[in-house]
Structure 1
Amino acid sequence: MSMFSIFNVSGSAISSQSKRLNVVASNMANADAVAGPDGKAYKARNVVFQTVEFDAPESKGVTVSSITESDAPFKRTYAPDHPSADANGYVDQSNVNPVEEMVNMISASRSYQNNVEVMNTAKTLMLKTLQMGQ
């Protein structure tokens, strides 16, 4: 694997983790929402990653293949006076679990940071290699 492949691999991971962080931020913003943009309760979203091959067969990266909605049940709250209440007086709220989203956020941000560090280390190694020739 060439040194330039390292930048492709880490760059793809940084881009994918950035998208994951955006999805987590959207989920956290709607954690207590009663209605999403379509008027129904907001469904948590999850990022699905997929391996992608680069020019060199030994180097692979990652990309976001899709963003799926969670199948977890909605939180139901008894609030008969609420305008969104059903016939029994229950209101469906978002199925976002804030604890899981915080774990996702920490995981994604650490992965992002690690890949930035990989790129910085590769850059330093390349500069030192060039300095050896002087």
Structure 2
Amino acid sequence: MAFDSIYKIAGSAMNAQTVRLNTVASNLANTDSAAGSAKDVYQARKPVFAAMYENNQLTRGAGMGGAHVQVMDVVVSGREAKKRYEPDHPLADRTGSVFYPDINEIEEMTDMMSATRSFETGVEVLNRIKSMQQGLLKLGEA
């Protein structure tokens, strides 16, 4: 596998984790976003990743070639809104109910830590490849 393929793979992994971190940040930022109805409530987002093999097929076990990560979509969770009785809230409906997104902060924080570690791993791969290339250049100096 050529160095440029490794750069492409590590870069795609870092890009995918950046998308993942963006969705986590959006979800955490909107945890307490109120809505006047269940249909208007913020829905948590989750990215969908797929392995794209060098032959551009979504198949498993594709030979010696590498596979980069493709962000296929960002989907909404589809969880039901949490209904709270808050009659003094400006967005309360006729019954005094306000709706909030069903976002699990612990899940989101765990997802954030995992995405951060995966991103750091991609950086480490790039640093190792850079070091290997520098070593190859030093061989020519001797």
Give the TM-score normalised by structure 1: 0.88
Q: Superposition RMSD on alpha carbons, in Å?
A: 2.1
SS in 2 for 1:111: helix
Residue 70 of structure 1 and its aligned partner are, at CA, apart by 0.7
SS in 2 for 1:133: helix
Deviates more, 1:24-33 or 1:84-93: 84-93
Alignment length (residue pairs):
132
Q: Which of the numbers 116, 120, 132 marks the counterpart of 2:123?
A: 116
Determine the structure 2 residue equivalent to 1:8: 8
SS in 2 for 1:125: helix
Determine the structure 2 residue equivalent to 1:98: 105
1:30-61 CA distances to partner (integer Å, 9 max, x unpaired)?
Answer: 0111039xx81111110110112347971210
Deviates more, 1:40-49 or 1:83-92: 83-92
CA distance in 2, matches of 1:55, 1:72: 37
Determine the structure 2 residue equivalent to 1:42: 42
Q: Determine whether 1:107 maps to 2:103.
A: no
Contact 2:35-2:98 at 8 Å conserved across structures: no
Determine the structure 2 residue equivalent to 1:32: 32
Determine the structure 2 residue equivalent to 1:58: 65
Residue 83 of structure 1 and its aligned partner are, at CA, apart by 3.2
CA distance in 2, matches of 1:25, 1:83: 26
Give the TM-score normalised by structure 2: 0.84
What stretches of structure 1 of length at least 5 have no aligned partner?
A: none
Q: Percent identity among equivalent residues?
A: 40
CA distance in 1, matches of 2:108, 2:115: 10
CA distance in 2, matches of 1:86, 1:107: 39
What stretches of structure 2 of length at least 5 have no aligned partner?
A: 57-63
